[in-house]
Amino acid sequence: MEMKQVSDHCFAVLNEKNRVCDANSGLINLGGGVVIDTQSDLAHARRMIEMFGRVWTAMPQRVINTHEDADHVWGNQLFTEAEIIAHRSVPDRMKQVAEPKESQKLLHGVGRLLTRLVLKQLHPGIVAAGQQLLEDYDFDGIELVLPTTLFDARYELDLDGTEVHLIYVGPCHQVGDTIIHVPKERVVFAGDVLFRQCTPMGWTGTYDKWFQCLDLMLELGPEVIVPGHGPLCGIEGVSEMRAYLEYVRDESRTHFDAGLTSLEAAKRIEFGPYGEWKAPARLFMNVERAYREFRHEPPDAPWDTAATFDAIYKVATAKGIPVEF
Ligand SMILES: [Zn+2]
């Protein structure tokens, strides 16, 4: 984990491994201090706070959650005095997708040999993902702390004369997707509408909505973008991810029309240049999302998490690449 200054008053904390749960955070050291996303577990959140301490001496008074996913909200409880801000949908969605108990149970189970052996027969992907997470994360002690300041389309902060715009762009990757624009500093904190040098994992939303959001980021013309996952970038990061999503949607269409399942399609679609990105087999999720749209399913159709990780595992195995999430 490292902290980088990206403009006069904006900072990013980046998790370099860039695998699942390795989410980035941000800090704006003005107007009481604003934190953007709070990491995946308490140890990571504490390290982030320590790093922020180099450029902001008090505990930040505001936290923004860019969306409801666990890896962006599980450090919320350490900001006891802070106002927590998010899109109106986020508290309810957090209860659905970020309840820590299941993940805590899973990691304990995967950590035990016998449970792991039994589980592996049923869900090799879940076991592999759990083992990977155990290398870096400990979900014990996490309690869900929900945002209480909620907004609909836009929310603005004035930090000692520097405007910060929270713009709701969901659902493209999740229901609550929000980007944070600091026009004066030409910085955007993108949350998970932007994955950089790693394969995007989208859960709820549509391709069209995601394209609209990426186009909006291009229009904002930032100099630096802090993605939800992966290293810092400029607008080239947005263009590259747009091209990836277009490629996957087009390829998925061809295989859908040929009657293949989403899993078979994901095994056949060439990674191309995107094989260099982290966890390319997460391609399955993007194929499955396209299939859902082709089948006219609602964008918030639930995911079977175990089946999803198993499918990613199967794609990696079929392609002969290391299993990585
Ligand atoms: Zn994330």
* Entry pTM: 0.96
The predicted pLDDT at position 103 comes to 87
Tell me the pLDDT tens digit for each residue of 178-187: 999 999 999 9
72 Cα–ligand 1 center, Å: 6
Q: Give residue 130's identity as a one-letter amino acid code.
A: G
CA dist., res. 81 & res. 77, Å (int): 9
How far apart are the CA of 93 and the centre of ligand 1, in A? 14
For residue 121, pLDDT over 90 is answered with no
Q: How many CB atoms lie within 10 A of CB 305?
A: 17
- Give the tokens for residue 185: 């500093």
Q: Determine the distance separating the centroid of ligand 1 and the alpha carbon of 164, expressed in angstroms.
A: 22
How far is the centre of ligand 1, averaged over its atoms, from the C-alpha of 15 (Å)? 11
**pLDDT-based confidence at residue 118 (cuts at 50, 70, 90):** confident
pLDDT on residue 117 = 79
Complete DSSP assignment for 168-199: E--SSSSTT-EEEEEGGGTEEEEEEEEE-SB-
CA of 228 to the centre of ligand 1 (A): 6
> 161 alpha carbon to ligand 1 midpoint, in Å?
30
**Going along 148-260, which residue ranges are E strands?**
149-151, 154-159, 162-168, 178-182, 187-195, 224-229
pLDDT per residue as tens digits for the range 193-247: 999 999 999 999 999 999 999 999 999 999 999 999 999 999 999 999 999 999 9
